[in-house]
Homo-oligomer: A and B are copies of this chain.
């Protein structure tokens, strides 16, 4: 009575899925709305920065040549012929032993090539005319920010696929990107299945539980950078179910279902894939949890049939769905970032299959350490809350001891990894 499924390796599963990756689409959003989005084009310097020679400090702009003879015993005097703040441009041409009082950010006046900071100058008036004097030689270029010193026009400053952070916002503004080209968020459809599922506001009754997977996956989709369209619970009746899935496929880029993919007696999804004529890439993966994860292709769209078990559902999404979403966000490192960490506690359980353990990874004295964030039984959602990583315990291993080095996948990270891990 049991259907036999042939498990494929995780690497092979990812490879199969990535063959069907969808390319990203650009949309333009106002710079005020671009924080947290992903650049869909390289950010290019549209001008030099600075685009004029400027004073990085308050002081007096001078011709350095006039300071050659200045020393402790021989102060050199300058007539202060103008006074400018940031944003102002002096109309004067500065001549011999003349200076302009200048504030941070202002453009260097014509003829000047150095700034004397207030601290090293003495200023005073003679007959109502301002003067200043200095007692040291100032080299050409001292305290001047030169054109293009920070960025050269045409330079690629940030690569496409990068998450826009506050620093990138500053750059976008500097270069006049009032509208910013960002990756359109892929639209992910989501169905839950399971007669046991109650809505979040329903009272508990024996045998039934509230639908938690849909809210969890919706947040995972958002964290990955997508937008979710939640279609609700699939009806228990096959034909209605089939129509709902087929209709949804015409509206979204990617379709996720949770539950119903096992070989259990009430699992409809395999039948739906069959009736659709979808190409099933695989329906069993050599991993725990998430072994029943099924991925199918229909009409160029990817259907992710994730397990109804919360842990398996979570892991299946992060390993298989996330990289597809990230690819649509122009990332060239779409997979979860993998790092090495020291195991904090013993994990004596043997691992016939590669196991992903929800874990809390932290930094201790500059070293990455990781500890399972709860029991790792099926159906246990509590451990998901504290988890910021998945610990990889490879198949065929006999358990791990505290202090062993393990690999972890970082869930809250924006850097990512390339494949293969």
Give the B-binding residues of A (Cβ under 8 A).
Answer: 1-2, 31-32, 35-36, 47, 49-52, 54, 56-58, 83, 85-89, 101, 103-107, 118, 123, 145, 150-151, 157-158, 164-178, 194-197, 200-202, 204, 206-220, 222-223, 230, 262-266, 308-310, 314, 339-342, 358, 362-363, 365-368, 375, 377-388, 405, 412, 414-415
Per the bound structure, the CA–CA distance linking A220 and B165 in Å amounts to 8
Q: Are B176 and A107 in contact (CB under 8 A)?
A: no
Residue of B at shortest CB range from A123? Answer: B1
CB–CB A204/B88 < 8 A: no
A sample of 14 inter-chain contacts (CB < 8 A) reads: A50-B209, A51-B209, A87-B197, A88-B196, A103-B265, A105-B379, A157-B385, A165-B223, A166-B216, A166-B219, A169-B216, A170-B215, A174-B210, A178-B201
Instruction: State in angstroms the CA–CA spacing of A158 and B342 once bound together.
Output: 25
Tell me the smallest distance from the CB of A286 to a CB of chain B, in Å: 16
Nearest chain-B residue to A342 (Cβ)?
A: B366
Docked CA distance A150–B377 (Å): 9
Determine the chain B residues whose CB is within 8 A of the CB of A200 once the complex forms: 31, 172-173, 176-178
Residues of B within 8 A of A173 (CB): 200, 210-212, 214-216
Write the chain B residue with the least CB distance to A220. B166
**Docked pose: A362 CA to B337 CA in angstroms:** 11
- Total copies of this chain within the assembly: 2
Contact (Cβ within 8 A) A206 B107: yes
The CA of A238 and the CA of B414, in the complex, are separated in Å by: 44
List, in ascending order, chain B residues with CB within 8 A of A220's CB: 166
Cα(A194)–Cα(B207), bound, Å: 66
- Highest count of chain B CB atoms <10 Å: which of A52, A89, A168, A379: A379
Cα A388 to Cα B413 with chains together (Å): 11
A381-B167 contact given A87-B194, A173-B200, A367-B366, CB 8 Å threshold: yes
Contact B170 A381 (CB under 8 A): yes
Contacts of A215 in B (CB 8 A): 31-32, 169-170, 172-173
Which residues in B have their C-beta under 8 angstroms from that of A213? Answer: 170
Flag if A105 contacts B158 (CB, 8 Å).
no
Q: Tell me the nearest residue of chain B to A339, going by C-beta.
A: B363
CB-nearest residue of chain B relative to A51? B204
Let me know if B377 and A145 touch, CB within 8 A: yes
Q: Are B366 and A340 in contact (CB under 8 A)?
A: yes
Give bound CA distance, A169 to B166, whole Å: 27
The minimal Cβ–Cβ distance linking A309 to chain B, given in whole angstroms, is 7
Which 5 pairs between the two chains have the least Cβ-Cβ distance?
A: A87-B196, A167-B384, A87-B195, A86-B196, A166-B219
> Would you call B266 and A86 a contact (CB within 8 A)?
yes
Bound-complex Cα distance A166 to B105 (A): 45
Contact A219 B87 (CB under 8 A): no
Q: How far is the CB of A104 from chain B (nearest CB, A)?
A: 6
Beyond A57-B378, A86-B266, A87-B194, is A216–B106 a contact (Cβ under 8 Å)?
A: no
Most buried by B among A169, A210, A342, A386: A169
Contact B165 A385 (CB under 8 A): yes
**A159 shortest CB reach to chain B, Å:** 10
The residue on B at minimum CB distance from A88 is B207
Q: A151 — which chain B residues lie within 8 A by C-beta?
A: 382
Q: Cβ of A217: which chain B residues have Cβ within 8 Å of it? A: 166
Q: Complex formed: what's the CA distance from A151 to B378 in Å?
A: 14
B379:A47 contact, CB within 8 angstroms:
no
CB neighbours of A103 from chain B (8 A): 264-266
**Are the C-beta atoms of A405 and B222 separated by less than 8 Å?**
no
Partner of A219 from B58, B88, B169 at Cβ < 8 Å: B169
Separation of A47 and B209 alpha carbons in the complex (Å)? 11
Which residues of chain B are near A216, meaning CB under 8 Å?
A: 166-167, 169-170, 173
Q: Given the complex of chains A and B, what is the CA–CA distance between A259 and B332 in angstroms?
A: 38
Q: Are A379 and B50 in contact (CB under 8 A)?
A: yes
